[in-house]
Structure 1
Amino acid sequence: MTTPVSSIRNLGPAYEVACARAGIHSAEALHALGADAAYGKLLKSGSKPHFIGYYVLVMALQGRPWNDCKGEEKKALRKRFDAIKASCFDNERSALESILDEIGVIERRPD
């Protein structure tokens, strides 16, 4: 038996839908992935990057209130968020250019 993602404190139905779109279909799968890998999957599946959404996930997986993240811990999470975001997006292209490139509409930029 699996437990819904929305059963995790701070994660509601909208987060559950986003997780399902990313291929994460249970609270157990989300815990097994961990916050960083799960958030990367969310971004790659079309979720917009948002720092609060990331740290809410981190706090949720730790069983903490979403607004419990402060000070140095929050600064450290911001660095992790920025790294995850950078690994998921080509920063040299706009989102539209990246999509057009993916479907072969524009010429690839040389590496």
Structure 2
Amino acid sequence: MTDPVSSIPNLGPASEAAFARAGIRSADQLRALGADEGYRQLVESGARPHFISYYVLVMGLQGRPWNDCKGEEKKALRCRFDEICAAARQSDAGRLSELDAALRQIGVVARAG
């Protein structure tokens, strides 16, 4: 039997449901991915990015309380969070461009020009 995502400190049923929508269904799977990749997949699945939810995840995977994140560590995590969000936006842009191209190819969307 695998442990649910909500067995990770700081994460509850709402986080578990959000990670499940991203295809992450166990604590072991999330631990193996790590905080950055797990959160990237969460955002790419459609979850709204929020800095607090990111650092809560990081702290939880380290077995630390969520409010343990302070000072320089919090600043560094904010930089990582911003990078993850930027990468997710780029990934979305690529997927939307592919979708737009496919819709144009089959005539659902008018071709440019």
Q: In 2, distance between residues paired with 1:16 and 1:107? A: 42
Alignment partner for residue 102 of structure 1, among 79, 99, 103?
A: 99
CA distance 1:106–1:31, shift in 2 (3 Å): farther
Q: In 2, distance between residues paired with 1:67 and 1:107? A: 52
How far did 1:57 drift? 0.3
Which residue in the other structure is 2:49 paired with? 49
How far did 1:8 drift? 1.1
Which residue in the other structure is 1:64 paired with? 64
How far did 1:7 drift? 1.0
How far did 1:99 drift? 5.4
Which residue in the other structure is 1:38 paired with? 38
Q: TM-score normalized by structure 2?
A: 0.82
Q: Name the structure where helix makes up a greater proportion of residues.
A: 2
Question: Does residue 1:20 correspond to 2:20, yes or no?
Answer: yes
The DSSP-based 3-state class of the residue aligned with 1:89 is helix
Q: TM-score normalized by structure 1?
A: 0.83
User: Which entry has the higher C-alpha Rg, 1 or 2?
Assistant: 2
How far did 1:106 drift? 7.7
Unaligned runs of 5+ in 2: 104-108
Please list every run of at least 4 consecutive aligned residues from structure 1 whose deviation after the TM superposition is greater than 4 angstroms.
Answer: 98-101, 105-108
State the identity as a percent. Answer: 64
Q: In 1, distance between residues paired with 2:62 and 2:48? A: 23
CA contact (8 A) 1:100 1:106 kept: no
How far did 1:102 drift? 3.1
Instruction: Give, as a single letter, the amino acid of the residue that structure 1 aligns with 2:72.
Output: E
How far did 1:9 drift? 1.0
The DSSP-based 3-state class of the residue aligned with 2:42 is helix
Which residue in the other structure is 2:29 paired with? 29
